[in-house]
A and B are shown apart, each in its own frame.
Chain A
Amino acid sequence: MFLKHIDLTTALRPSYLPDEVLLFVQDNVGLYEGKYKLPNQQNGQVYLTSHRICYVDKDEPRKHSAALDLKEVDRYEFYAGFFKSSAKVTIVPKPLRRSALHNRVMSGTGVHSRHSTPSPTSSNDAYAPPSGPPPASATWVCNICSFSNPVPSNFDPAAANAHTPLPPCLACGIKPALSLVLKAAITSASRPSPSPNSSQPGNINYTFSSASAVTLGLVDPFSSPKPSDQGKTDTTVSFQCPRCTFSNHPSLLSCEMCGAPLLSQDVPTTITPSEYIRILSQSPGPIKDTSQGAVDFAESIKISFRGGGEKIFYERLKSAMTQRKWLLQDAPPAPKSNRMADDNSPGGSPGTPTQRTKTAGIAGLEQLGLNMRKNNEILIGSAFEDLEALMTSAKEVVALAERFAQQVNGASADVTSKENTILAESAHQLGLITTKDIVGSGGGSDSLYFSELARNLAEFLTDDARGVLKRAGGILTLVDLWAMFNRARGGVELVSPMDFEKAAQMWESLKLPVRLRTFRSGVMVVQARDRTDDVTIKSILAWLQDLHEFPPDREVVWDWREFGRGVTAQDTAERFGWSLGVAEEELLMAEEQGFLCREEGLEGLKFWKNYIGKTDIAVLQKREAQEEADAILRRLKDTGLM
């Protein structure tokens, strides 16, 4: 399986592997598998990282997001777009070992032909993901660009007329003439291939589908592959091209002569005939059937860039493929303590375990402490040495950075892609890559930057390791967060307050687990989504209730058992770990909702649980109405009418 389902973070971004670095993001992309659109992956963002290409769907991110590992990529092609078709990057996976696949196909067939009954369970075990129908074997050649297109599977030559919708050419987008397609369909139908449409009685083995070169090359699928009947791998078997009948080498994926696919996109599959027909009837035109899933491992993946950004993506992909960072993942860690070992080795290696076990008691502890101090010393020493090395080369680094900056500034539209690549690569090597660089350009590049920033922020906030929100009592002013966030970025790629606010305001629309709240005073705070006003009020009231139980610190003149105690914003901030401003705002919010009342005295503003009570306007009006009615009744009685 080339495309894999991926896990997303709380902010609906792909969760990165260790050492994985984000290189590029572009929105408004769609995925193709081979020539077919994947119906569920037509609008989303593509994340290029050093290890993977991740697609995150916009509507159903948790369901339809997928990724492919760069290490499984064989080659990648760039397609600049043509008329109505947008620019695409095609990614071809490394071919599965053809002989092995061939063998499996053959042996599977052997089993079926021997027992002459399909055994779905066994074949399901062998090929877990069931694949759908193969694309129609018939192809028509475009008159304009001479691209060979598949005839749609639902195309019925008998029923077709001038009004039958025909898919345009996949390469140039020009619609074919009906006669052309008709001819192609009839030609293919007249071929002696066991088409899935032709109903065959008894046990039909759909493992052999029309496009399979093996099947097409041989008249009778059930008896002919003789070598495999013995269950042996025979690489000398040649595959006859279904189109030009050229005998190809078995490890070829497409015909050497005419380029027709040999062992086509389909994975051998065993499905019941009824199911098969259902799937077939459902598949309309070039949109890939959902039941097929994203499992075609022989098929290439296309990423269609509808909002631009394909060039940068391609360049970054190229550099990622050359760097091959994923190899580092399994590599042993870089040797760090070489120098330490060198220092220790002449002294008869005091760090060896045998030596350590000898010393015990206080002497052992001392030895341990000594070792630790020595380690620290070396560590600090080497660290500062690095720093000094950097200082010496600082001039060059600065000059380099300046040159880059100049190039970027002076770059006009005609900057060649090569220069761009070098620039991007060098900047990346220096670690100077910024989110703005990562984010692809295009129509809505600004909003993409903000949405990425918003997601980044949400991740920063909900990161359990940092516990930013938790430490701040679940609520944090936006200004504090801004300071914290920029500090966490280590002085590089700082975010301006304007951008920050804009990003924070996108949380709501991006359905992220944090929310921005504006108090009446205009103070903006950040809260977890589940922390509503009700929850806050409840916790404040519970605290005030507790104050009825515990005597106050000093004598008070009122009955604290009855009324508890008034609390200041300071008390509240201390109690809940909020900042002072937040505590004040929360108290005011609770007051506004009528749960607290205030007392202004010499000691400042204090908040109490509301013992004054509320007048419900509705209740009041009801009572007034009732009184009026009573008065009328009384008067009526008085006057003797009742």
Chain B
Amino acid sequence: MATTTAPPATAFPFPREYFFPAFFTRQPNLTIHHAQLTKWSSLVLAYARHHRIFRLALSAAAESDLFFNRALDRRLAPPDIREVVDFMRKDGRAEYLQPGDAGSSSTSSNNGGGDGSSSSLAAAAAGGGGDVVLIYWRKPQEWAALIEAYVDETAQKGSVLTVYELTEGENTRGTEFHGMDNGVLMKALNILVKRGKAQIFGSEDSLGVKFF
């Protein structure tokens, strides 16, 4: 379910720790553990950016070479993966996908600390729903800024664009948000709406955005 678009030809350059066997074991020492989580989180973000991954299915990712170093035959255990994701979530770099949240506009605002944890609890309660994680190698605010800048540059303020146009259209080719995940895009657009810079209208499949 990992959404990848046009995997780049070059292989992802894994960091040095990825080849260190002890990196795949949860460290009991608190300071080392913190360092471990930091390194894992930056590894996940770099990996996601490299492969343009927006959502990560944890069960599938556990088998991918992100968390499974086949050369070393070492893997990060699923509970530890969840811990890494939780750590990223606290940092505002990840978010569990809410069931019924997929792609649709949602009123749930972005990552507030308490809000995030409650959503994770809900995800855990929902069972399978907690498997997919949105990886914010750019935070929604940053995406929002990018889109705003694009609209500004191309002088499309006041005009109406469809969401499809934004991600898949010819004009956005070459921008970073081309081929962006719908869920993340909606979060970014919602931020713009809140700021009063945009307005979303339309129904489920044909959403339109008007920028001011």
Contacts and interface: CB of A to CB of B under 8 A. Distances in A.
Interface of A: 557-559, 562-563, 566, 591-592, 594, 597-601, 606, 608, 610-617
Contacts of B32: 591, 594, 597, 610, 612-614
Contact of A611 (B20, B25, B74): B20
A259 to B, nearest CB: 79
Q: Which of A559, A562, A566, A598 has the most CB of B within 10 A?
A: A598
Contact of B36 (A592, A612, A616): A612
Contacts, number: 73
B206 interface: no
A566 B27 contact: no
B19 A599 contact: no
B81 to A, nearest CB: 16
A562 B22 CA distance: 13
A613 B28 contact: no
Residue with the highest number of chain A CB atoms closer than 10 Å, among B17, B29, B35, B72? B29
Contacts of B19: 558-559, 562-563
Contacts of A614: 31-32, 35
Interface of B: 16-17, 19-25, 27-29, 31-32, 34-36, 38-39, 71-74
A360 to B, nearest CB: 67
Given A557-B71, A598-B28, A601-B74, A612 B39 contact: yes
B35 A558 contact: no
A610 B32 CA distance: 8
Nearest to A563: B20
A591 B29 contact: yes
Contacts of A617: 31
A615 B35 contact: yes
A613 B31 CA distance: 9
Contacts of A613: 32, 35, 39
Q: Which of B21, B36, B38, B39 has the most CB of A within 10 A?
A: B21
A298 B72 CA distance: 86
19 contacts: A558-B72, A562-B19, A591-B32, A592-B29, A594-B29, A597-B25, A597-B36, A598-B22, A598-B27, A599-B24, A599-B74, A606-B21, A611-B22, A611-B23, A612-B35, A613-B32, A614-B35, A616-B31, A617-B31
A597 B73 contact: no
A471 to B, nearest CB: 32
A612 B23 contact: yes
A617 B38 CA distance: 13
A421 B139 CA distance: 92
B20 A612 contact: yes
A591 B32 CA distance: 9
Contact of A612 (B27, B28, B71, B72): B27
Contacts of B34: 615
B25 A599 contact: yes
Contacts of B71: 557
Nearest to B40: A612
Contacts of B74: 599, 601
A563 B21 contact: yes
A601 B38 contact: no
A599 B22 contact: yes
A349 B16 CA distance: 82
A417 to B, nearest CB: 65
A247 B35 CA distance: 96
A592 B66 CA distance: 28
Contacts of A608: 20-22
Contact of A600 (B16, B25, B39): B25
A597 B22 contact: yes
Contacts of A597: 22, 25, 27, 29, 32, 36
Contacts of B39: 612-613
Nearest to B19: A558
A257 B117 CA distance: 104
A494 to B, nearest CB: 40
B63 to A, nearest CB: 18
Nearest to A614: B31
Contacts of A592: 29
A562 B19 CA distance: 10
Given A557-B71, A615-B31, A598 B25 contact: yes
Nearest to B31: A614
Contacts of A598: 22, 25, 27-28
B21 A601 contact: yes
A614 B32 CA distance: 5
A605 B13 CA distance: 29
B22 A606 contact: yes
A562 B72 CA distance: 14
A322 B19 CA distance: 80
Nearest to A602: B73
Ordered nearest first, which 6 A-B pairs have the shortest CB separation?
A599-B22, A608-B22, A615-B34, A615-B35, A613-B35, A599-B25
A415 to B, nearest CB: 62
A558 B23 CA distance: 12
A615 B33 CA distance: 9
Contacts of A594: 29, 31-32
Contacts of B27: 597-598, 612
Nearest to A588: B28
A600 to B, nearest CB: 5
Nearest to B38: A615
A619 to B, nearest CB: 11
B33 to A, nearest CB: 9
Given A598-B25, A601-B74, A558 B31 contact: no
B71 to A, nearest CB: 6
Nearest to A599: B22
A594 B31 CA distance: 7
A436 B207 CA distance: 94
Given A557-B73, A615-B31, 14 more contacts: A558-B20, A558-B21, A559-B19, A563-B19, A563-B21, A591-B28, A594-B29, A597-B29, A600-B25, A608-B22, A610-B32, A612-B22, A612-B35, A615-B35
Contacts of B35: 612-615
Nearest to B71: A557
Contacts of A563: 19-21
A390 to B, nearest CB: 59
A588 to B, nearest CB: 9
A591 B25 CA distance: 13
B105 to A, nearest CB: 30
A342 B36 CA distance: 82
Nearest to B26: A600
A594 B35 CA distance: 11
A616 B35 CA distance: 9
A612 B17 contact: yes
B17 to A, nearest CB: 6
A563 B39 CA distance: 17
B187 to A, nearest CB: 22
A597 B27 CA distance: 7
A23 B70 CA distance: 72
A611 B27 CA distance: 12
A282 B3 CA distance: 97
Among A566, A591, A599, max chain B CB count under 10 A is at A599
B65 to A, nearest CB: 14
